[in-house]
Amino acid sequence: MDRDQHITQDAAEFYAVYLMAKTAEEMGVAILPHSKELWQEFVDYLAIAHRDWAISDFGSRYPAYKANADAQVPAFVQRLAVAFPGSKFAFEVDEARLRNLGKKADFILTIDEPSRTYAVSLKNYVGPGGVKRPQVSSGTFLSFAAGFVFERNGVGTYVDPRTPDTSFKGSNTKDRDAVLAFEGRADLAPLLMKLVDLQQHVRSRLLTLRYYDQAAVKGVVAEIVPQAQDTLLSVFDVLGHDVVRQKFLERANLDGGEDALYFDGLQFADSITNPRFRELYARINDPNTTFKVVKAGQSLRFSFEANGAVVVSADVPLTINTNGAWHRPKPPYQGKQLKVDKGVPVELEWGEIRPRKSKEIATSTNLYLDLAAAGVFGGS
């Protein structure tokens, strides 16, 4: 994704929240008229130093983000008004603060009566099908496991139970092991260390390649994935079924702690007004619903089932993120090209290793939630 698209995407969150407030005002269901302030936040975001975008750039460079918001956001507010008759609403962008707290939400919805707030994750998909199978979390092998073992309170950081109100980084082996020892769970330490070792192995095997070699990467993937699957399943065995289930629900944004507003140009699913989402939450928590984790190809598959049918499932493919280690833009080129590698200009052939960025090769996990199969869109 290029820079313009990234800016458009971030700006689209401000725009969507502005549009919510504007719609609420027009419908007479705004707690306070505050769309002007939200519009200003949107404009400020576009105009921020060294960016200098005009409002028209937002709608022209990657038009789908604005078009999707225009198509879906007013209808969301209308659904709110139906779901909470007589209530009024307010909206605020709070993405950065919430993300740094390890939350997924992008904006806060306030309802006056009954008085409460909702932290909502907004996903505005441009590509086809994304909304049907949203990616709700990602990380490295270690951070994926650590999310089940520890209490997450930020990106890659966790609550340190040894001292109140402090955090530790999951990547810090000394702290990680000390926390586990403190909690009497030292049996988890070698399992987490194994995941660290797999990442070290990936680096030592791939950093020697001057040119990108897909077969070599796939070879290393094939080596590490079965080990990672077994290690993660061992972690889950030690933690126990109930802990894994609860942590999975948190991670998949299915525990009810935060809400969702996912849409593309054609489809939407929001967890606040959609009864199918409510039914999904209810079925997940039904005592007759079972939860399991199994290996499925390169993935771990998490699934809830009732009466022999899948209620909801999620796949977590385990792979390597080469993280831009080799410079191979499209289309390929002949000769050498100047590339700024972590701030340092270097002359590179197509497919040649970037001296600095290559240090960031890492193990990789993504959690894809099969929302379409869960029936929240009205099909299947």
Partner DNA sequence: CTGTCAATAGTGACGTGGTT
Partner DNA sequence: AACCACGTCACTATTGACAG
**Site residues, DNA (CB under 7 A):** 1-3, 5-6, 9, 96, 99-100, 102, 104, 123-127, 129-130, 133-135, 137-140, 142-144, 146-147, 152, 154-157, 167, 169-172, 214, 217-218, 221, 297-299, 315, 317, 319-326, 328, 330, 342-343, 356-357, 359-360, 362, 364, 366, 368
Task: State which residue, 84 or 130, has the beta carbon closest to DNA.
Answer: 130
Query: Is 131 within 8 Å of 269 (Cβ atoms)?
Result: yes
Q: How far apart are CA 204 and CA 198, in angstroms?
A: 10
Q: How far apart are CA 20 and CA 87, in angstroms?
A: 15
Q: How far is the CB of 17 from DNA (least distance, A)?
A: 15
DSSP 198-249: HHHHHHHHHTT-SB--HHHHHHHHHHHHHHHHHHHHHHHHHH-HHHHHHHHH
Q: How far is the CB of 248 from DNA (least distance, A)?
A: 14
Q: How far is the CB of 214 from DNA (least distance, A)?
A: 6
How far are the Cα atoms of 49, 154, 331 from residue 122, in angstroms, in the given order? 26, 19, 33
Task: State which residue, 312 or 320, has the beta carbon closest to DNA.
Answer: 320
Task: State which residue, 88 or 141, has the beta carbon closest to DNA.
Answer: 141
Task: State which residue, 33 or 329, has the beta carbon closest to DNA.
Answer: 329
Q: How far is the CB of 192 from DNA (least distance, A)?
A: 10
Q: How far is the CB of 82 from DNA (least distance, A)?
A: 27
Query: Is 125 within 8 Å of 262 (Cβ atoms)?
Result: yes
Task: State which residue, 35 or 72, has the beta carbon closest to DNA.
Answer: 72
Q: How far apart are CA 161 and CA 184, in angstroms?
A: 12
Q: How far is the CB of 79 from DNA (least distance, A)?
A: 21
Rounded to 5 degrees, φ, ψ at 340 are -85, 115
Q: Which residues of 250-280 are buried (b: 16+ CB within 10 A; e: fewer)?
A: bbbbbbeebbbbbbbbebbbbbbbbeebeeb
Task: State which residue, 24 or 248, has the beta carbon closest to DNA.
Answer: 248
